[in-house]
Amino acid sequence: MLSLREVSVRYDGSPALTDVSLDLPDGQVLAVLGPSGSGKSTLLRAVAGLEQSTGTIAWDDRDLTGVPTHKRGFALMFQDGQLFGHLTVAANVGYPLRLRHVPRPRRRERVAELLALVGLAGYERRLPGTLSGGERQRVALARALAVEPRLLLLDEPLSALDAGLRGRLAADLRAILVAAGTTALLVTHDQEEAYAVADRLAVVRAGRLVQEGPVAQVWQRPADPETALFLGYARVLEGAPAAAVLAAAGVGHAGPATVAVRRSALVLAEDGPLSGVVVQARATPDQVRLVVDVDGVGEMDAVAGSAAHPGPGEKVRLRADQDRLSILS
């Protein structure tokens, strides 16, 4: 298993990564999630041995300091899969095997196996230029898995793809990693990508680890307001507004609370405990998204079923869904 202890990286004296400690057990997928510039790629590069770091990076208790990148047994995959454009898919996927002098028949067999794994059976003779972005990333993934790395390092592997494809490929990526039993460290700024692919989540901000744990636990209990907002909560309430929303959700809480609220936490309901005036209404295929000036709370996002037609200025009642709230403190 991979262990990081107080790992720090500085560029020209300024810190890019500070005292990061993490464990990644075998067979698990950990997503390091953070905004752009928070040190994610730096962390990955340090693990790969491409960046000088202080602290300890170890595999199965063996310190990797001084072990060169190609001897770590890790594979790397980037945002743009970096395929060789002049080589066929088979030659790209088989490239690491050729470097290791795997005999041609075995190589051919393994390439077919890998292409099947990533859903591209029969693509052997295609050139990268004839593939879609998603297909190219699958080929890059097959190549990264070719030599069965003990750790796969993925740097924003889906970020270059358009949104719809990204969602589908994220689910496929998870299935492929699980099927191959791969231990993987993925870094991304995209929450959905992290939720779809990982078992565990580590949130970084300004080079520091702010929270780590199983995906659902981090999502349900963000460490602080900034983390909650980064994880996709719409608002963080304090004082009387927080108390009003908690009461409406039927959640008891002693003393002042800080509450993170998802966009869909307030729902239009005739007999709801909250009242307010619609400020904005926008219909989407699934629901109507509202902004409501809620009495005692202030302007909040809310949702209504697509059959509802509340317009600006209209008085409405709302209930609060306790599964879409998180009490931060």
Residues lying near ligand ADP in the complex (CB under 6 A): 11, 16, 34, 36-42
Residue 284's binding partner among ligand ADP, Mg ion, none (Cβ under 5 to 8 angstroms by kind) is none
Nearer CB in complex with ligand ADP: 36/284: 36
Nearest approach in angstroms of CB 179 to ligand ADP is 28
Residue (34 or 276) nearer to Mg ion, CB? 34
Residue of 274, 256, 260, 280 lying closest to 316 (CA atoms): 274
Largest CA distance in the chain: 74
Q: Shortest gap between Cβ of 15 and ligand ADP (angstroms)?
A: 8
Q: Which value, in Å, is the radius of gyration of the alpha carbons in the chain?
A: 24
DSSP assignment string, 105-139: HHHHHHHHHHHHHTT-TT-TT--GGGS-HHHHHHH
Across the beta sheet with 235-237, what order do the strands follow? 235-237, 259-261, 325-327
Which residue of 3, 8, 41, 182 would you call a contact of Mg ion, by CB under 5 A? 41
Residue with Cβ nearer ligand ADP (20 or 278)? 20
Strand, helix or coil for residue 43: helix
| Beta carbon of residue 103, minimum distance to ligand ADP (angstroms, whole number) | 39
324 contact, one of Mg ion, ligand ADP, none, CB 5-8 Å limit per kind:
none
Residue 157 interacting partner from Mg ion, ligand ADP, none (CB closer than 5 to 8 Å by kind):
none
Minimum CB distance to Mg ion, residue 40 (Å): 5
- Smallest gap from residue 246 Cβ to ligand ADP (A): 35
* Smallest distance from ligand ADP to CB 204, Å: 7
Contacts of 176 (CB under 8 A, 6+ apart): 117, 118, 141, 145
Q: Label residue 307 exposed, middle or buried (CB < 10 Å: 0-12, 13-18, 19+).
A: exposed
Q: Taking Cα atoms as reference points, which of 44, 47, 22 lies closest to residue 201?
A: 22
* Partner from ligand ADP, Mg ion, none binding residue 38, C-beta < 5-8 Å depending on class: ligand ADP
Residue 28 binds Mg ion, judged by CB under 5 A: no
Q: How far is CA 313 from the centre of its chain?
A: 39
Structure tokens at 84: 């060789």
Q: How far is the CB of 308 from Mg ion (least distance, A)?
A: 42
Residue 205 near which of Mg ion, ligand ADP, none (CB within 5-8 Å, type-dependent): none
Tokens of 74: 């890790």
> Stretches 41-49, 57-65, 237-245, 285-293: which one binds Mg ion (CB under 5 A)?
41-49
Which CB sits closer to ligand ADP, 48 or 236? 48
Residue 92 partner contact from ligand ADP, Mg ion, none using kind-dependent CB cut-offs of 5 to 8 Å: none
Tell me the number of residues near Mg ion by CB under 5 A: 1
> Where do contacts with Mg ion occur on this chain (CB under 5 A)?
41
